[in-house]
Chains A and B, each alone.
Chain A
Amino acid sequence: MKLLKLFKIAFKAVILNKLRTLLTMLGIIIGVASVIAMLAIGEGSKESIRASITSMGSNMISIQPGADVRGGVRRSRTEMQSLTLKDYEAIKEKASLLSYVTPSVDGGGQVINGSNNWPSTIYGVNPDYLSIRVWDLQSGSMFTDADVKSAGKVAVIGKTIVDNVFLEGIDPVGQMIRFNNIPFKVIGVLEEKGENTSGLDQDDVVIAPYTTVQKRILAIDYLREIIASAVSEDEAQNAVTEVSGILRVQHKLAENEDDDFHVRSMDELISTSSSTSEMLTILLVAVASISLLIGGIGIMNIMYVSVKERTKEIGLRMAVGGKGSDILMQFLIEAILISITGGLLGVILGLGSTVFIEKFLHWPTSVSLYSIVISFAVCAVTGIFFGWYPARKASALDPITALRYE
C-alpha cells in the first residue's frame, strides 16, 4: 500500500512538470523509436538477403555415391551404381529434417526441334525438383507424379533451349522436341535464371521425369544423385547427419566401414548468409545501445536537477515522516515512470515510422516482437540505472539542511 502511495506521489511530480517530463522523455522516445525502426529495417533487409541467398539453394543437400576402390582401381563416381531408388524411398520415408527430396539422373545429348538442334543436358527428377532449386515456371506447368509413374514423355525446358531450338514467336508449350531421338512434349518453360556462381548456364536444361530418363535415355536403374532440401538453412547440417545415418543403415555398413556415399550441404552459402545476418545485428545493436545510453543520460541529468531543485520539498517530506528509503523509491519510481512512458511512446513512434518507411520509401521492413520487448526492457533498466544515483543523493539528504536550502 505504501508503494502505491509512493507511486502516486511520483506520478504527481511527473504530471506537475509536463513540459520538462516530455523533453526528458524525448531522448528515450527517439532512442526507442530509432531502435525499433532500425531493427525493422535491419530485419527486413536481413530477410530479403536471406531470401535471395536461399533462392541460390542454401538449404540444398546433395547425396552422391562415393568413389569406390575395387581391385585397386578407383572408379569415377558417375560409374557407381550404389545409389538406388530404394535409398531414395528410405530417405523420403525416414528423414524428418527434409522438406523435399528427389532422385536425380542426368545425361547429355542433342535437343532437336525441326531443323534446329542444340547440345544440352537432360535431368531426370520428380516434381519436387523445382521447389528444391527454388525455380519457377515462366509458362506452362511442371509434370506430375502420375507422369513419373507412367514414365511419361513430357519435359520442362530452360530459356537457353527455347532460344536455340524454337523460332522466335513460337510458344514452346505444347510443342514436341526430341532428345537423343526420343520425343518429348514440352509442357513448361522455366523462368530465366542466368549463370550460377561457377558460371554454369542454369537455363540450359531439359527436365523430365526420372523414370523416363532412366528407362528411355540412359537405360539404367540406379541413381546418379539424390537431391533434397532441408527444412531450414539452420537445420541443413543436422539433416546431413540424419541422411548419412539413414543411408548407413540402408547400405548395411558396419561400424568400422567408411561411408560409400557423400552427403553435402551448401556450407559456403550458409556461412555467407549467417555472417551477413550477424554483421547487421551487431551494427544495429551498437546503434541501439548508443541511442538508449544518450536517453539514459538525459534522464539522469534531469533527475539530478530535479533533486537539487526540490531539496526543500525533500526536507519537508522527511520532516513529516518520509524515510530515506521512501524518498529513494519516490525518485526512482519517477525515473522509471519517465523512461517507461517514454519507451511506450517510443514503441508507438517506432512502429509508426516503420509503417511510413515501408509505405513511402518501399524499403523492406519486418518488426519483430523481440525488438519491442528488448528496447522496452532496456528502457526500464535505463530508468533504474540512471535514476539510482540522483535518487540515492536525495535520500541521503539531511532533513535540517534540506529544509533550510534556498
Chain B
Amino acid sequence: MSREIITIVDLKRDFIMGPETVHALKGISFTVKEGEFVTIMGSSGSGKSVLLHILGCLDRPTSGIYELDGLNVKDLCKDELATIRNEKIGFIFQSYNLLARTSAIENVELPLLYSNKVSSAEQRERAIEALERVGLGNRLHHTPGQLSGGQQQRIAIARSLINNPVIILADEATGNLDTRNSYEIMALFQKLNKQGITIIFVTHEPDIASFSSRTIVLRDGLVIQNDKNSNILSAEDELAKLPKQDAML
C-alpha cells in the first residue's frame, strides 16, 4: 500500500483571546496517503484555514499528533519549520502571492533561494522545467502584470512544484478565477495528481470538490464527513462542456 504522507491524530488548536479561549480545532484525525487528491471543505469559521496553516507548518497545534512524511512536526522550532516548508511543502494561495515586477522564472525560483542544496544553474533549470509542466514554457520572462489570473496561478503552481514537495497545499486556489479558468486549473491539478503528486485542496465550492478523490468536511472544528469520492469528474471533460461564448470573453 502507498505510504502515509500526513497523519494527524486528535489535533487541537486553541487561541487565547483575552479572557476567552477559542477552540478552533477540537480534535481532528485523518490520514492522507501518497497520491491522494483531498479536498477540505467547510464554511467560514469551520477551522479549515487553521487546519491548513498547521498542515503547512506555518502554525503549531496546541495538542495532538501531526506527522508529515514520517516526521513529527509538533515539537519543531521556528527555523526547523521553515526548513520543512522549504523542502517538503508547496503552497498555493487564493491571491497567487507572486512578486510584482518580477519575471515568472524568478518567481518560480523563489523557494530555492532559501535552500542551500541547489546551485544557481540547477535552480534556473528546475524553474524552466516547472513552468513547462504548467504550460507556461513560452512565458518565462513575463511579469505577473503581463499575465492573466489563470496564468498567474499557474506560475504559483510551478513555484509550489519546484522543490519537489511531498505535498501541495492549495488554499482556495480557484477562488479568484472565473469558471473556465477554475476548471483549467483543476485540470492541471488532476494532471499533476496523475503524475503522483499528493494534493490537499481547501475550498468551499462543492463543484471543485467533485474533481478530487476524497472530501473532508469540517464544521465547528470537527470532521463531520470524510468520504472517498466515488464519482470523480474530469475537469478536462467539464471544460469541454462549457458554452463556447464563455471562451470568447
A residues apposed to B, CB below 8 Å: 1-2, 5-6, 8-9, 12, 16, 312-313, 315-326, 399-400, 403
- Smallest CB-CB separation from B107: which chain A residue? A316
- 14 inter-chain pairs at a CB distance below 8 angstroms, sorted by A residue, are A2-B116, A5-B114, A9-B113, A16-B101, A317-B110, A318-B58, A320-B91, A320-B159, A321-B82, A321-B115, A323-B114, A326-B114, A400-B58, A403-B58
The complex places the Cα of A325 from the Cα of B116 at a distance, in Å, of 14
What CA separation (Å) do A321 and B113 show in the bound complex?
9
The answer to whether A403 touches B99, judged by C-beta atoms less than 8 angstroms apart, is no
Q: With A8-B113, A316-B97 as given contacts, are A323 and B79 in contact (CB-CB < 8 Å)? A: yes
Instruction: Fill in one digit per residue for B135-177: 1 if any A CB lies within 8 Å of its CB, else 0.
Output: 0000000000000000000000001000100000000000000
The listed residue (A5, A12, A319, A324) touching B85 by CB distance below 8 A is A319
Q: Return A225 CB to nearest CB of chain B, in Å.
A: 77
Task: Known pairs A316-B93, A319-B97, A324-B78; list 17 more (Cβ under 8 Å).
Answer: A6-B113, A12-B102, A312-B97, A315-B97, A316-B97, A318-B82, A318-B85, A320-B111, A320-B114, A321-B85, A321-B87, A322-B86, A322-B114, A323-B78, A324-B79, A324-B82, A325-B79
The CA of A2 and the CA of B78, in the complex, are separated in Å by 19
A5 to B119, CA, bound (A): 10
Measured between beta carbons, the chain A residues less than 8 angstroms from B85 are: 318-321
Query: In the bound complex, how far is the Cα of B59 from the Cα of A157, in angstroms?
Result: 96
Which residues 112-135 of B sit at the A interface, judged by CB distance below 8 A?
Answer: 113-116, 119-120
Count, chain B residues at interface, CB 8 A:
28
Q: A312-B97, A316-B97, A400-B53 are in contact. Are A323 and B113 (CB under 8 A)?
A: no
- With A324-B78, A399-B58, A400-B59 known as contacts, the answer to whether A313 contacts B87 (CB < 8 A) is no
Q: Does B31 contact A (CB under 8 A)?
A: no
Q: In whole Å, how far is B84's beta carbon from the nearest beta carbon of chain A?
A: 8
Docked CA distance A313–B120 (Å): 22
A68 to chain B, nearest CB (A): 85
How far is it, in angstroms, between the C-alpha of A295 and the C-alpha of B72 when the chains are bound? Answer: 49
0/1 string, B219-247, CB within 8 A of A gives 1: 00000000000000000000000000000
- A-contact bits for B48-68, CB 8 A (1 contact / 0 none): 000001001011000000000
B43 CB contacts on chain A under 8 angstroms:
none
Asked if B93 and A403 sit within 8 Å, CB to CB, the answer is: yes
Most buried by A among B83, B110, B111, B114: B114
- Determine the chain A residues whose CB is within 8 A of the CB of B53 once the complex forms: 400
Report whether B97 and A321 are in contact in the complex, using a CB–CB cutoff of 8 Å.
no
Q: Among A1, A12, A312, A318, point to the contact of B116 (Cβ < 8 A).
A: A1
Please report the C-alpha to C-alpha distance between residue A5 and residue B122 in the assembled complex, in whole angstroms: 13
Question: Which of chain B's residues has its CB closest to A1's CB?
Answer: B116
B77 → chain A, closest Cβ, in Å? 10
- Shortest beta-carbon contacts, A-B, top 8: A321-B86, A320-B111, A321-B114, A323-B82, A316-B97, A5-B113, A322-B114, A321-B85
CA distance A5 to B159 in the complex (A): 17
Please give, as numbers and ranges, the residues of chain B lying within 8 Å of A318 by CB-CB distance: 58, 82, 85
The winner among B59, B83, B97 for most chain A CB atoms within 10 A is: B97
A329 to chain B, nearest CB (A): 11
A301 to chain B, nearest CB (A): 22
Give the complex CA separation of A324 and B78 in angstroms.
8
Q: Which residue of A lies closest to B97 (CB)?
A: A316
Chain A residues with CB below 8 A from B87, complex form:
321
- Cα-based distance from A299 to B106 in the complex (angstroms): 27
Residue of A nearest to B49 (CB): A400
Most buried by A among B83, B85, B111, B113: B113
Q: Which residue of B lies closest to A321 (CB)?
A: B86
Query: When A16-B101, A400-B53 are in contact, do A320 and B110 touch as well, CB less than 8 Å?
Result: yes
Assembly CA distance A203 to B82 (angstroms)? 86
Residues of B within 8 A of A12 (CB): 102, 106
- CB atoms of A322 and B82 under 8 A apart: yes
Docked complex Cα distance between A192 and B87 (Å): 86
In the complex formed, the residue of B with least CB distance to A402 is: B58
Set of chain B residues within 8 Å of A324, measured between Cβ atoms? 78-79, 82
CA distance A318 to B56 in the complex (A): 11
Chain B residues whose C-beta falls within 8 Å of the C-beta of A400 in the assembled complex: 53, 58-59
A330 shortest CB reach to chain B, Å:
10
Collect the chain B residues with CB atoms within 8 Å of residue A16's CB: 101-102
Which residues of A lie under 8 Å from residue B93 when comparing CB positions?
A: 316, 403
Residues from chain B with a CB closer than 8 A to the CB of A6 are: 113
Contact A403 B115 (CB under 8 A): no
A318's nearest neighbour on chain B, judged by CB, is B82
